[in-house]
Structure 1
């Protein structure tokens, strides 16, 4: 048996949206189980996200420190952002986020990995890119606000981020997944064997 996720959709007999927020909402579905019973399933509906592990020529990752109110912590993260436009090309969104959050551009882009952050309660899908051959972005820095106005930026060697994740010092989902995936890629066939930047993404289809 192949160890591979596969599409499947159980029958939904009713659906409602009891809450609609600015970017996300909450949906309640009545789902028919294999034994015929019907159960309620509440979950957050999310537009999807992109995240970027940007590595400079010294193997250091661009990381940002930002306050996250739901967990009441200031977390070290990699640049990331929402797919604000339905059907938006995730590579274009990632390039925008890297510019806006870090004022950096990259010449080499690959898909590092695709994940569902919390599939038991949210349909958020994240495409994590690897970006290399970094340089300062052109033009003025993007004007940020709210939590982003207080962000700090650093460049940290990849092994140090792996150590911090394993030690329980770093908790951001995209950062932890990205540094582990990058380390595994380096130990295997290398970064050049990763999928191209515009590889298909069934979780969030897009036009090239």
Structure 2
């Protein structure tokens, strides 16, 4: 959605924008504050995190195993199990498919012969504009990873699908994007 489309939808929903101000920006994230009047007439403030499009990929091998990455997530102080995912802050013109294939190769070294778009999701629509594209990657070939310096501690592990699902049930996987992506892929009967 473009900013104009979003502003139009907000207005049609009864929100009045009083002012907007960018309060922070770095190469990956911007933050703005919108002062508004809610449809109820009450004044309010929205802190909105603006981030670019991302892709999340479930890599499934011919034997049914799935690949996960594990890395330390600084904001929560924990190593998390996740599907490969990411965004390209330097390439606004990249397609979701390009980002998916690139992130898969970069983080895991896997090259996908087949990439299936399984849906979209928002990562925190109550505070962020970031939209993600969910992919299932098949016909995989292993190669060398091309990790960024910030991903140096990342490791890749293959798990049988049943073990991956048990990891979710036990609470070993807590990444909401990974769980939501799996739910979309499963609900569409792709796995």
Q: Tell me how far 1:18 sits from its aligned partner.
A: 1.2
After TM superposition, which residue ranges in structure 1, 4 or more long, deviate above 6 angstroms?
none
Aligned-partner Cα distance in 2 for 1:161–1:32:
45
Residue aligning to 2:3: none
Gaps of 5+ in 1: 1-5, 192-208
Q: Tell me how far 1:176 sits from its aligned partner.
A: 1.0
Cα 1:163/1:115, change in 2 over 3 Å: same
Residue aligning to 2:146: 142
Equivalence map 1:112-127=2 (5 Å): 112-127=118-133
Gaps of 5+ in 2: 1-5
Residue aligning to 2:161: 158
- 8 Å contact kept, 1:52–1:128: yes
Aligned-partner Cα distance in 1 for 2:181–2:99:
17
Using the size of structure 2 for normalisation, the TM-score is 0.86
Q: Tell me how far 1:91 sits from its aligned partner.
A: 0.3
Q: Tell me how far 1:152 sits from its aligned partner.
A: 1.2
Residue aligning to 1:76: 81
- 8 Å contact kept, 1:162–1:180: no
Using the size of structure 1 for normalisation, the TM-score is 0.79
Cα 1:49/1:111, change in 2 over 3 Å: same
Instruction: Indicate whether 1:111 and 2:117 are aligned.
Output: yes
Q: Residues 113-163 of structure 1, C-alpha deviation per residue, up to 9 Å, x if partnerless?
A: 2111111111111111111111124xx5425313x1111111112222222
| Total equivalences in the alignment | 180
Q: Residues 7-32 of structure 1, C-alpha deviation per residue, up to 9 Å, x if partnerless?
A: 82233221001111231021100122
Q: Residues 87-120 of structure 1, C-alpha deviation per residue, up to 9 Å, x if partnerless?
A: 3211011111111111111111111221111111
3-state secondary structure, aligned to 1:150: coil
Cα 1:141/1:42, change in 2 over 3 Å: closer
- 8 Å contact kept, 1:103–1:141: yes
Aligned-partner Cα distance in 2 for 1:152–1:122:
28
CA RMSD of aligned residues (A): 2.0
